[in-house]
Chains A and B, each alone.
Chain A
Amino acid sequence: NAGVTQTPKFRVLKTGQSMTLLCAQDMNHEYMYWYRQDPGMGLRLIHYSVGEGTTAKGEVPDGYNVSRLKKQNFLLGLESAAPSQTSVYFCASSYLQGSETQYFGPGTRLLVL
């Protein structure tokens, strides 16, 4: 049982490049989330999904897109990366909604030059 995994672990992009971050969970969870964490700050919710084929905006969605084509996968896309998107990205999943326990992945560290 791998839990929540994220790919890649680290990436360097140039401004304007695009990339996709992959999150996978093997716990059959309905809910999945993407957060970003900047130095010295808490996590901020980017987008979330309440089930396969559904996505919704979180607190800081601008500049990101997401897709949930399969229940176990949640993809975060950056169409045109900007230096302000330099951050650590965490994916999480939960079985139920609300404040039910969220299980987090190890994070993806992204540097945009």
Chain B
Amino acid sequence: LAKTTQPISMDSYEGQEVNITCSHNNIATNDYITWYQQFPSQGPRFIIQGYKTKVTNEVASLFIPADRKSSTLSLPRVSLSDTAVYYCLVGTRTGFQKLVFGTGTRLLVSP
């Protein structure tokens, strides 16, 4: 399983753009990069998934450089409700693989 490394915590203010970077130096050719969001007292929720370059949805953007050894989750114009823990996971979509949730990045958005 590809190990991931992300910052333990980040602080931001409302309206700012937040970028959370995840390192995954040992990513395999078939691995995808997936980000989950977890609010207190709730289960994690899927945010975005990508394989290379850039992926964008209504919630976030995911930037993946050509070497795929890292990825950046970008949250545009965060609000207080974006305060949560964000997990970066790496895994293949073919063949069962037990996903490993690390400790994630705790994002605190202040007014």
Contact = CB atoms under 8 A, between A and B. Distances in A.
Contacts of B89: 99
Interface residues of B, number: 27
A75 interface: no
23 contacts: A35-B101, A40-B103, A41-B103, A42-B102, A42-B104, A43-B44, A45-B98, A45-B99, A97-B97, A98-B91, A98-B92, A98-B94, A98-B96, A99-B97, A99-B99, A102-B46, A104-B42, A104-B44, A104-B45, A105-B43, A106-B43, A107-B41, A107-B42
A99 B98 contact: no
Interface of B: 31-32, 34, 41-46, 49, 87, 89-104
A74 interface: no
Interface residues on A, range: 20 to 34
A42 B101 contact: yes
Given A43-B44, A90-B43, A101 B49 contact: yes
Interface string A45-86: 100101000000011000000000000000000000000000
Nearest to B42: A106
Contacts of A58: 98
Nearest to A107: B43
A48 B96 CA distance: 11
B97 to A, nearest CB: 5
Q: Which of B91, B95, B99 has its CB near the most chain A CB atoms (within 10 A)?
A: B99
Q: Which of B43, B91, B97, B104 has its CB near the most chain A CB atoms (within 10 A)?
A: B43
A96 interface: yes
